[in-house]
Chain A
């Protein structure tokens, strides 16, 4: 695809009119039209301004072949600026991938893939899948507090946090180049984001099982229900949740302070916990209103009972930041590009170069660890599992 066509493609993917692009870049409408119709070539500085407006890498406009059409799956599309948020998410994923390539440190994508038949996929399958994932990824009985780290550091999932509306939504993508990625809403509290992350994990695990059309931004209602069922089962395993409730039952009731304790234990929201109990204790559809009333009451108690610490999540994972610093110090990325990747000024970026020489002791320690690790040998157990064996 030629430059002119790529310019038009990028603008249309953003949903911008020429007038909107003019407003964002200061480039005249007639010039923009001429660029897209191959009547005139933009200068590189104009192309750079357009790349920024369209949230594309400059290299996108010079690439050969057809552009990749990455599907971003939304639980609910953002009310405003959907294309902008989506473009930002996709750009962050590509930047993360670039950093991995430049640092020669590509995360091994260890997200298991499960074969499923979407037509016959039932709630019981979602429950079984949650149990299997909990076991396979060794998430333990209370996966909430560790899920994000395991997905990022063990499974190589790229997780970003941006602010958008409505807050009750998140997105995921499975890119050909960048792999599995999740976008969470930084406006949400951590325990709410845990549920969103588990929900998006379902979509990533079953990506190939459900039909994915290039322009289909939201999954079917059925797929969403299954994802919610999976998330609840993953974060609040049935036996463990029942035991946690059982320990706190007094005269056949669980107090609201105890409900907040259980939610804290699993690092989920009280709302999520109440719906989980609704299912686990077989309340059924007729009692839905009762559960909704309890949720309302819990919300009213939240200011006095919810005492979990909230921290603002970083836009990108720590590894993204570390790779960017590594790339800069290895001379793989310019100061300006580094500043752009980390949304800082050039002068802030320069400080990273000024502190570039690590303490000489670091190399010694790392070399020693490497030498020790090399003494271990990889062996396969009778179950086919790979283990590292200590030297005799």
Chain B
């Protein structure tokens, strides 16, 4: 059966939240998910609203090929590094850096789902607004729509993508704007 979303990259916050609200398994069956190695290593527990830690394990999903893991080598980041100030590497999670680098290396396919403003800013600045997606949009399209904290919303994505786009036009944060 064809999946609703092909080549969907998720950051660690999204994975954690999906486990927390108990719909990870449903999402996995409907989306072709790719995770950066660092995301797999970092996303391994969530906290309940009462602050209790609940561990989860992505390894079985990887072993069953329900989730695909990719590695990025430092040399793959060269393009990324040439495009952005080195400090940008410090502003994002390593998993997000990996996902963005992979996304840049695979120009036509993947989309990146994040809850981080900085990720959408970078996509906006690179002129890749359409490659970002919010969790709200994914869940809505696969029939799992629900109320979510605002960092998972379409509005949040649009706000920060727009900000990044404007910064890109002004050359802020970028060493060499690719469209210029």
Contacts and interface: CB of A to CB of B under 8 A. Distances in A.
A45 interface: yes
Given A334-B119, A346-B16, A354-B149, A45 B90 contact: no
B73 A41 contact: yes
Contact of B151 (A61, A332, A353): A353
Contact of B121 (A43, A61, A331): A331
Interface string A267-291: 0000000000000000000000000
A334 B96 CA distance: 9
Given A44-B94, A45-B94, A336 B42 contact: yes
Interface residues of A, number: 33
A331 B151 CA distance: 11
Contacts of B93: 334-337
Contacts of A102: 87, 91
Interface residues of B, number: 44
B12 interface: yes
Contacts of A48: 38, 94
Given A59-B86, A347-B16, A44 B77 contact: yes
Interface of B is mostly: helix
Nearest to A357: B150
B68 interface: no
A333 interface: yes
Interface of A is mostly: helix
A379 interface: no
Interface in B89-134: 89-98, 101, 115-121
Interface of B: 12-13, 16, 20, 36-38, 41-42, 46-47, 71-77, 81, 86-87, 89-98, 101, 115-121, 149-151, 160, 163
19 contacts: A42-B74, A43-B37, A44-B36, A44-B97, A48-B38, A58-B94, A62-B74, A62-B77, A102-B87, A331-B116, A333-B91, A335-B13, A336-B42, A347-B20, A353-B149, A353-B150, A354-B149, A354-B150, A354-B151
Interface of A: 3, 41-45, 47-48, 57-59, 61-64, 98, 101-102, 330-337, 345-348, 350, 353-354
